[in-house]
Structure formats: C-alpha cells, structure tokens
Structure 1
Amino acid sequence: MFKPSWAAVLVASCCFTVQAEESIEHISVYANRTPTTTSEVLASVTVLDRADIVERQAQDLPALLAQLPGVNLSRDGGRGQNSGLYVRGGNSGHTLVLIDGVRSGSATLGYKALAMLPLEFIERIEVIRGPRAAWYGADALSGVIAITTRKVDGAELNANVGSFGQAGADVSLSQQVGELNLSATAGYSRADGFNVRKDLDPDRDGYNQRFAKLAADYQTSLGLWQAQFDINSGFYQFDTAWGTEDQADTLNRSYLVGWQHQLGQWQHQAQLSRVLDDDTPYGPVSRSPFVTERDEFSYQTSSAITENLNWLAGVNWYSENVARSGVNYVTDGRINRALFSGVNFKQGSVQLDGSVRRDLTDEYGGNNTWQLAAGYWFTDAWQLRASRGAAFKAPTFNDLYYPGFSNPELAPETTLSDEIAIHYRVANGSIQLAWFENDVDNLIQYDSVSNQTLNIEQAKISGVELVIEVDVAGIQQSFAYSWIDTENTLTGQRLVRRPENTLNWRAAHSWDKLSAYITADYQSNTYQGEFASSEYLGGFTLWGVGTSYQFSSALTIRAKLDNLFDKKYQSNASYTTAGVNFGLSLSYRPQ
C-alpha cells in the first residue's frame, strides 16, 4: 500500500506558513508563447530547470516525465526501448513535443519518441497540461512538452555508470567573443540492457547513442541572431512477435535559425528550422526505413497595448514529407499554414486570457481552435481559475496510407476540454486542486476485428489532480495525485494503459555538502486491451533513494537506487521491467 506517502502529505498539508518573503517562482515560456510567471499562467504547468533535472537522477526522459503530475508511462522494457506517454489520459500523439520551440516527432508515427532523447542534452523542461492547440495547432490536445536544449556557461564534464552495463559521458563548452557566444555539447551513452520479453529472443535488449550540438548567438543593433545544429544517432534493440526485426537504427537531426528583436513596445521573434527523423527497424532478412522531414517557419509579434492589455499574433507554416520508407504511401507530403492571435488582460484581482488559431491543411481544409481562460485572486494566496479550449489532430501518414491497416477515410480527431482549478500559494509551498474533462470526437484507434484504423464515435476523459509542494524544516516535499476516468463510449471500456489512480511523492533534504532524497511512485491496475496477453495488469509501488555530495565547488558525485525493493511489475503486457538497479554519476565544472 501507499501509507507512508499518504502520511507525508497529511503532514505537509498542515505545515504551510505565510512568510514575509515570497518564494522564487519559475517562468513559463511556452504556455502563452511569451515569458510569464507560473502564478500568472491560467493553466496547469510544471517547469524543471537543469538543477531539478540533475537532482532527480532519473534514468531517462520518460522516467523523469512519469514523476510529474498528470503523466503516465507505459514501457516496452527498459532504457532505449519504446515507451508510451499519456498526459491527462490522452493518447501519446495527443501531446505536442517542442524542442527549442520547434515541432518535433515523426510524421509517420504521429508523435515524438522520447526514449532516445538524452537527458544530458536538456537544459529545461516545461509540461503544460491541457489543450494548447490555439497557440500551437495540431497535436496539442492533452498538453505540450517543451524542451530547451543545453547552452552551458563555461565548461562542464559529466560521466555515469549503472546497472545493465549502463555507461555514458558528455562534455559542454562555451566561449564569449565580443557579442558572439559559441557553445557546443557532445556525448555518448550505451547499455547492455536486459531481456524485455522472455517469451521471445533470449537476449539482452540494449541501446547505443551519440549526440552533439553546436550553437551560436550574436547580438547586434538589429536584434539577437541564433543558429544551432543538433544530431542524435544510435541504435536500440527490442523484442516483438510481429517478425524478425529486433533492432532499429535512429537518427534525429535539426537545423535552426532564429531572430529576436525589441523595437519600441513591440517584441518580434522569427524562427526557421528543418528536422529529420529516421527510425529504421531491421533484422536478419529485412529492413524497414521510416524517414520523415519537416520544414517549419514561425513569426510572432507582441506588445503591451495598454497597462492592463497585452496582445500577441503570428503566423506558422510547416511542410511534412515522407522522405524514404519501406512501403509506398499514396500521399507522402502535406503543408500546414496557420494564423494565431491572443490577448491577456489583467486588472486588480481579475485576469482573462483568450487565443484563437486557424490552420489550413492540404488534406483537410481549415480547422479552427480556440482557448478561453479566467482567473480570480481572492487574496494574494488564493486563486480560482477556469478554462475551456478546442483542439484537433490530423491522422498520420501511417493512419491514412500504411498498407494493411490504414484508412484514407479517417477524419481528424477533435476535442473540447474544460478545467477548473483552485491554487493556494505561500512562501514555503503551494497546493493546487484541478478538475478537468476532455470530450474526444473521432478518436483514432486500431480495430483488431476489421484489421483497420477507425474513428471511434466518442471518448470521454475526466479526472482530478492534486499537487502539493511544501518545504518543512528544510525537507522539500512534492506530492501529486491523479484520478483519471477514461471511456470509449462505443464499447464502454476504459482506454488502454491509463491507470485510474497514480501517486508520486518525493522528499529531499540538503545539509552542508550532502543532499539526499526518497521517492515513492504508485499506479493502480491498468486495462491492457481485450486481446492483450493479460487484459488487466496489477498496480504497483516503486521506491527509490538517492544522494549527492559536493566535494568542491567544481566536483559533485551522485548515487541512486531505483526500484529499491526489487518489485516485479509490468506497465505493458508481456514486457518485463527492471528490478532493483543503481546509478553513479559525476559532474565537474571548472571554476
């Protein structure tokens, strides 16, 4: 059971105190497309900076995200293997992933595979729960995960080892030359892994990857100019009952040029990018490449029209193409054009947000999305907010044209979402209680009876989130509870792999040079589907501990144990998961 963490949260909830000084607050960059303190964002947002990411010592990005409110994880094994991420009960493809503001992910798959995106590459993560299609267009039905890659000030070296042959190292450097700042990051990571399906190949399933980034910022009288190049390549191994392919080569490459300029009261921003996503499964007798490319251009401008009213508007254009594949697609490219605009009004205790977007896609014509939100501050500590938003997702190239199960008659998925939340903030912590409901029309799912992808008439997702963060006597505690009810209204069944209850608890304390933490993560049983090897999987609780010690201002060593009590569990039927495992890492930053 989960009694220790329940006790912890009961203690925490009684220990809020009002202090003279306000706590330092995170800034949300992507919730409103402009930097805004999280207390003024009328949405549920979690922000992790680099220090937060490092202190949590997660094994990979999916494991880190699964510790956050409203996020559930389904794994096909361990690090490097495929994982499904469900924000507020939506499909994996219902969460838009932005990397440095650029739409990311495979156009054939329909979402960004996060298992091979190294944490060593990441400076900042922002998770916005709830629809944001009025700002970002298709795919932002359940939320947005916005990732900012690293730009180190000075030099940094990191190295790590762990269970199952895990080992990695990365180095980052930067140099200021007048108004020009140059930075670079390069790294390597690998693991032998473990056998993820014991009923298939009796082998270990590991991964190997290399990654690098080059970036330059140049400040001129005409604004800040930015350019960067990222590459992440490698391979991962997996087990499947569908054929002989049991490995995959991966390559992700992106080019970005950006410009920002403040001209009077007007802030201008433009960005041009190209992203390549290559995932090529192969085996002894076959090879199946899936290579997609996306070119994107965005421009936005914003201004304070009055002391209380801010306005933002912009344009967005992107082209998606299947550059190479092992099968023939009837259509292998499409273009999306969009206009968006929004306002923010704040006076006294009242705040109002509104945004609207018009997308025009080659295959589906126009789609209109919108978002309305209102907030009211009863006191400096208490806030009530409510929002409603519409979103859509176009079918992927695989949904429409992949031979064998595709359906060219599919309609886009559309959603209408509501949220009501109350938030209490004081200097040593905060409490947020949120209710949400998401009605999905034309939900796209594979039907095993007809062997075809179909639109479900309707699905309904509703839930409650409770998030508590508090510092009591130097012990920083965070607690997140989510209750999610999902239903395919055609069959009456729950949507697969969405546990009804999840709990995440973390407590950390720092002494002079030593810090330590303990975590507990629980999820209830999950429906896996009528034809899965196990229709339901049981619930489980995973415990973890970790510590760090700062030998000097330049050198820090960290250690952790995950799945402390060696719990045997599954989050996806047939796939095994890691037992108790350790990690050891070192960070060196010369002063």
Structure 2
Amino acid sequence: MFKFSWASLMLASSAMAVATEPVERISVYASHTPMSESEVLASVTVLELADIQARQARDLPALLAQLPGVQLSRDGGRGQNSGLYLRGGNTGHTLVLIDGIRAGAATNGYKALALVPLELVERIEVIRGPRAAWYGADALAGVIAITTRQSAGAELNANLGSYGQAGADLSTGWQQDRLQLNASLGYSRADGFNVREDLDPDRDGYQQRFAKFAATYQTSFGTLQAQADINSGNTEFDTGWGTEDQSAVLQRSYRLGWQHDGARWQQQAQLSRIYDQDTSYGPASRSPFITERDEFSYQSSLSLTEQLQWHGGVNWYAEQVDRSAVPYLEQSRINRALFSGLNWQQAGWLLEGSARRDLNQRYGGNNTWQVAAGYQFADGWLVRASRGAAFKAPTFNDLYYPGSANPELAPERAIADELALSYYTDNGSVQLAWFARDVSDLIQFNLATYLPENISQARITGAELQVDVTLAQLRQQFAYTFLDTENQLTSEPLPRRPKHNLNWRLEYQWRQLSTYLSASYQSESFQGPYASRSYLGGYTLWGLGAAYPLSSKLTVRANIDNLLDKNYQSSDGYNTAGLTFGLNLNYRAF
C-alpha cells in the first residue's frame, strides 16, 4: 500500500527548489476571457502541447486521471467506456468543449472521452467547480475545454506498443497573407485484451480514424473561421446484456466562427452542428442511435474602465434524436440562454460575479449564478472564496428510453462553495483548495428497479493539494485529492469515488535526454450495493519514460505504464492493462 509518509517526503524535497525560467499559463474558459492562471478565481489546470507530449499518456482519460480532482473508472482499456468523476460529480456533470463547441451525444448526455483522439489535442483546460453561470447545464462539476491542433508547419507522429497498439497521424499548416489553412488526419488501432473474463474469452480491441480541416481568414472587420472534424471507428467490448459486443461510431462536427478584437470591445460568434452516430451490434441484433445538436452563441466583452470588465452573451442549442433502436416518447428539445458577468481588479482585490438564465423546453426557466472574491495579500500569494449554483436537466435516456426511463425525474441542482490559497513563483506553484457541494435530486441508476431515480440529497466535500516545483534540471509535480461523498438517503458513499487520489511525477533533464518517473495511488472505492464486490481495493501504479531528440526535427519517446505489472480494477468486473510499453517517433518540419 502507498504510504503517505513517503508523499510527505516528496513535498518536503520539492520545497527546497530554487528558481528557473518562469512559465505563465493562461486560462481562456474559466471567466470567458484570457486571464493568468494565478489570477483566476477558480481551480484551473492548463496543459499546453509540450505538457501533453511530455506525459506520454495512452489516451485522453489516462491523461486527465493524472490531474487533481479527477477520478477515473474504466471498463477496460483504450477505446472502452470510461467514467470521469470531477470532484465527485457524475460523468455527465462535466461539460466538454472541443474548440468551444459543446460536445457529447444528446441521448446519454456526455462526451465519451475515450473516443477523443489525443493525437489531435493541442491544449487542455480543466476547470474544477461549477461553471453553469457561464455555460449552463452540464457544467455542474466543472468544464474540460479542449483545443485541437493548429500546426504552423508539418508534424508526423508514429507509435506502437503493447496489446497490438499502432498508429500514425499527420498535422500540417499553410499560411499566405491573411489566409491560414490547417489539416490533420490519423489512424490508430489495438488488439486489446480480454475485458471481462466471465464473458467472451476474446481480446477487445478498437480501430479509429480521424481528420480535421480548418481555415482562418483575417479581414478588416474580424477573423473568420471554418472547421470540420470527422471521427470514426469500431470498438469491441464485453457485456452481460444481450449479444451485442461491438460498436461502430461516426462523429462529425462543423463550426463557423467570427471574432473581432478592439481596443476595449471584443466580440465573437459561433455556429456549430454536431452529428453523433453510435451503433452497437452483434450476431443477433443491431442498435443504432443518431443524435444531432445545432448551437449558436454570441459573446461580448467590454472594458468599462481599467479595473472593470463586463462580459455577456446569448446561447441557443437544439438537440434531436434522429434515429434510435427503440422509439423515444420525445425526440427533440431546445434550450435558450442569456448570461452576463463582471470582473473587477484593484489594489490586490479581485471580484467576479456572473448570472445566467436558461429556458429549457421541458423544464422552463432555470437561474444559475456565481460569485467569487480574491485578495493578493503578498507577491505571488492569492486567497480566494467562491459560491455558485448549477443545474443539469435529465438526458433523453433518463427520461424516455423504453424500459429504463423515468419521465418524472427532476433536474439536478447544486450549490457549491470553495476556499483556496495559492502561491506562484518563478520556479513553480503551490495550490490548496477546500470545496463542498450539496446536490439536490442527484440522478443515480437503481439496478434493483433498473430505473434512474432522484436522490433527495447528496453531499460532496473534499480538498486538493497541487505542487509544481523545479530545481535546476529536476522538476516535481504532486497532486493529491481527498474526497468524501454521501448519499444522504442511504448514508452510503457515491459509487466509484475513491477517498484518496495521489499523483506524483519526477522529471529529470540531462543534456538533451528527458526522463520521468511517476506514481499514481487510488484508495479503495465503493462500487454500489448491487455490485459483485461492494468495494474494490486500492492500488499504486508506477510509470517510467524518456524522450530524446535524434535531430532538430526528430524526437523519439518511450515509456512503460504499470511498471510492476499490477493486477487491479477500477470498475467492478472489468480488467485493466498490465505492464504496457509504448514507443513514439515525432517529426516536426517547422
């Protein structure tokens, strides 16, 4: 078992670091305006491309699991279903934005992160805590904002690894005067491993193809943008329900955007369409589900004075189930919203307030709000507090799926509080946060009745500690999350939320060689009253990796996950990967 005395030793050694080159990270989505991470009145983690490549994660869920506040439950390996619980919220409580577009199928109400190609990701911003006052429903626990690749030249990646993993992707960019064109495409696959030993004794692998095309044109009245993304593939899985054990996915998104930046007034508008097709099939049946979402948003930011800035805008989206294996009682709904907020900074004080009004076609008007205050009491130090309200409407599956729907469900509502202290210096940062969230009418699936139901009240409290410090060629990153959840109707914990999560990473730079050693600990987790095992045991996973530039353009990276070949589960009954080796070649012609 992982010893917390060892973790304390890591923190103590980090505290002795001395200054190196400062790195300023900018939050774009937390307050609807670019702002230094050290001044944001929310818990934010920003990963740039260099951070993403250095971590050498197998896929997006594996990368996110290394961050504070994130708990992950996997039903198998790469390509398989993954449940992400941000600060103890349900998977559907985290809004996923991809290039500013609300992502995810209307039927289940969330984005399958295992299907997002990490090869296309340029930047990730994770905002922990409700952002419903800015983004509406689905941002009850937080926001994951993903920016896809916009290469300035040509970049080629090729990779291979354990379990038959192989893939390649190409990104390229071209610019002529005011016109910029970008394109990315790639392919990946794996044989996988047997996900469930009690079911089909076969390997459960996947294949995935993806492409992105984008154009940007500068004009005298602003920047025009157009983008198209295509993601398709096949995934094998094991299930105890029926004979369907494969899934074919086709996802398409289209975006038109406009942005104008003036001296005091910034504006942007965006029109998008999301098409999501997911078909499960097997030897005896086929279950297609096709959903679409059309969305329009407009946002304006105005500097009223040097200290005071106003933000506001409108948002409209329509969701529709175009085709389904079973008939839904309702197949479409519309949401309209108006939001506004203020940011004020003066003499070390930072204040923020925002409010939003959503008009949901089924549930009528819903008001959400957020207030936050911070004080920079010394150079690099910030103490802050916030409170916010959020809501989430039930999904189409919750309300209308025949045989397992509950049309009487009420929207989930939450009030969240946070107190935090942070310190930023040239050689790193330390962040400590306490949070609490009371959720009314939390939706949980009851396996006894096979119906979703509202829990009268749930309570989630916790704390996060994040340390990132550099000493000469040595960098240490430490993230610890304590989480305490309670279904106040039964006094049981909420399923699949371990109390303790810890991630430690040590990076060492020797000349041109970069190496790292990592450790991830998760305590035991409650799996629910109807699981075959009420609790799954805790585990510690070790990782090792290195990167070396063979030339100014060619870099080789290699890593080993689960270095000690630990046998563990994060979801009851589902196997996970053993010792896994990966090799990547990256060629950049910039």
TM-score class, shorter-chain normalisation, is over 0.9
For 1:13 and 1:78, the matched residues in 2 are separated by 33
For residue 47 of structure 1, what is the aligned residue in structure 2? 46
Is this contact kept in 2: 1:16–1:426, CA < 8 A? Answer: no
What are the equivalent positions in structure 2 for 1:511-550 lying under 5 Å apart?
511-550=510-549
CA distance in structure 1 between the partners assigned to 2:589 and 2:264 by the alignment: 40
SS at match of 1:33: coil
* 2:377 counterpart residue number: 378
Q: Which amino acid aligns with 1:253?
A: R
TM superposition score normalised by structure 2: 0.98
Equivalent residue runs for 1:201-280 within 5 Å: 201-280=200-279
Question: Which deviations, in whole Å up to 9, do the C-alpha atoms of 1:413-451 show, x marking residues without a partner?
Answer: 000000000111211111111000000000011123333
Q: Is residue 2:336 matched to residue 1:337?
A: yes
Partner of 1:569: 568
**Deviations along 1:491-545, whole A, 9 cap, x unmatched?**
0000000000010000101122210001000000000011111111000000000
Q: Quote the residue 2:139 is aligned against.
A: 140
- For 1:109, the equivalent position in structure 2 comes to 108
CA contact (8 A) 1:161 1:168 kept: yes
Change (3 A) 1:470 1:367: same
Distance in 1 of aligned mates of 2:203 and 2:215: 40
CA contact (8 A) 1:212 1:232 kept: yes
Q: How far is the alpha carbon of 1:377 from its aligned partner?
A: 1.1
SS at the partner of 1:299?
strand
Aligned to 1:70: 69
Deviant stretches of 4+, over 3 Å: none
1:483-502 matched pairs, under 5 angstroms: 483-502=482-501
Residue 403 of structure 1 corresponds to which residue in structure 2? Answer: 402
What one-letter code is carried by the residue in structure 2 that aligns with 1:495? Answer: L
Q: Which runs of 5+ in 2 are unaligned?
A: none
Partner SS state of residue 285, structure 1: coil
SS in structure 2 at match of 1:288: strand
Alignment match, 2:553: 554
- Alpha carbons 2:357, 2:366 under 8 Å: kept: yes
Please give the per-residue CA displacement for 1:372-411, whole angstroms capped at 9, x wherever unaligned.
0000111012211000000000000000000112011111
Question: Is the CA contact 1:12–1:472 (under 8 Å) kept in the aligned structure 2?
Answer: no
CA distance in 1, matches of 2:15, 2:229: 47
Query: How far apart are residue 350 of structure 1 and its match?
Result: 0.7
| Amino acid of the structure 2 residue aligned with 1:529 | G
Deviations 1:530-571 (A, max 9, x none): 111111100000000000110111000000000000000000
- The question of whether the paired residues in 2 share the 8 Å contact of 1:12 and 1:470 is answered with no
For 2:210 and 2:11, the matched residues in 1 are separated by: 44
TM-score, normalised by the number of residues in structure 1: 0.98
SS of 2:157 mapped into structure 1: strand
Residue 115 of structure 1: SS of its match in structure 2? helix
* 1:100 Cα deviation after fit: 0.4
Task: Please give the secondary structure, in 2, of the residue aligned with 1:196.
Answer: coil
- Tell me which amino acid in the other structure corresponds to 2:12: V
* In 1, Cα distance between equivalents of 2:6 and 2:151: 36
* Paired amino acid for 2:484: D
CA distance in structure 2 between the partners assigned to 1:43 and 1:30 by the alignment: 11
Shift of 1:7: 5.0
2:80 corresponds in structure 1 to: 81
User: What is the rounded CA distance, in whole Å, between the counterparts of 1:482 and 1:559 in structure 2?
Assistant: 28
Mapped to 2, the partners of 1:273 and 1:412 lie a distance apart of: 26
Alignment of 1:78-477 (within 5 A): 78-477=77-476
Q: Distance in 1 between matches of 2:488 and 2:244?
A: 36
Q: CA deviation at 1:278?
A: 1.4
SS of aligned partner of 2:300: strand
Aligned partners of 1:534 and 1:155: how far apart in 2? 50
* Contact 2:352–2:373 (8 Å) recurs in 1: yes
For the residues of structure 2 that align with 1:197 and 1:24, how far apart are their CA atoms? 44
Matches of 2:6 and 2:78, distance apart in 1: 27
Indicate the SS of the match to 1:175. Answer: strand
Q: Is the 8 A contact 2:15 2:469 kept in 1?
A: no
Give how far 1:323 is off.
1.1
Counterpart AA for 1:418 = D
Deviation at 1:155, TM superposition (A): 0.4
Q: Deviations over 1:93-141 (max 9, x none)?
A: 0000000001000110111001111110110000000000000000101
In structure 2, distance between residues paired with 1:533 and 1:345: 53
2:190–2:206: 8 Å Cα contact kept in structure 1? yes
Q: Residue 15 of structure 2 aligns with which residue?
A: 14
Deviations 1:130-175 (A, max 9, x none): 0000000001011100000111010010000000000000011111
* Whole-angstrom CA distance in 1 between matches of 2:260 and 2:589: 33
SS in structure 2 of the partner of residue 72 of structure 1: strand
Cα deviation, residue 8, structure 1 = 4.7
1:588 aligns with: 587
Distance 1:531 1:7 in 2: 37
Match of 1:54, SS state, is helix
Give the Cα–Cα distance (whole angstroms) in 1 for the partners of residues 517 and 551 of structure 2: 24
Change (3 A) 1:9 1:69: same
RMSD: 1.1
* Whole-angstrom distance in 2 between the partners of 1:450 and 1:233: 35
1:589 counterpart SS class: strand
Between the two proteins, what is the percent identity of the paired residues?
A: 65
1:27 aligns with 2:31: no
Paired residues of 1:22 and 1:426 also in contact (CA < 8 A)? no
Distance in 2, Cα, partners of 1:128 & 1:415: 17
Within 1, Cα distance between the matches of 2:215 and 2:572?
46
- In the alignment, residue 2 of structure 2 is paired with which amino acid? F
Give 1:351 deviation, angstroms. Answer: 0.6
Alpha-carbon distance change, 452 to 521 in structure 1, aligned in 2, over 3 angstroms = same
Report how many residues are paired. Answer: 589
Following superposition, the deviation at residue 14 of structure 1 comes to 2.7
**Compared with structure 1, are the counterparts of its residues 7 and 374 closer, same or farther at alpha carbon in structure 2 (3 Å cutoff)?**
closer
Look up the match of 1:2: 2
Q: Which moved more, 1:402-411 or 1:444-453?
A: 444-453
Conserved 8 A contact 1:246-1:281? yes
> Structure 1 stretches of 5 or more lacking a match?
none
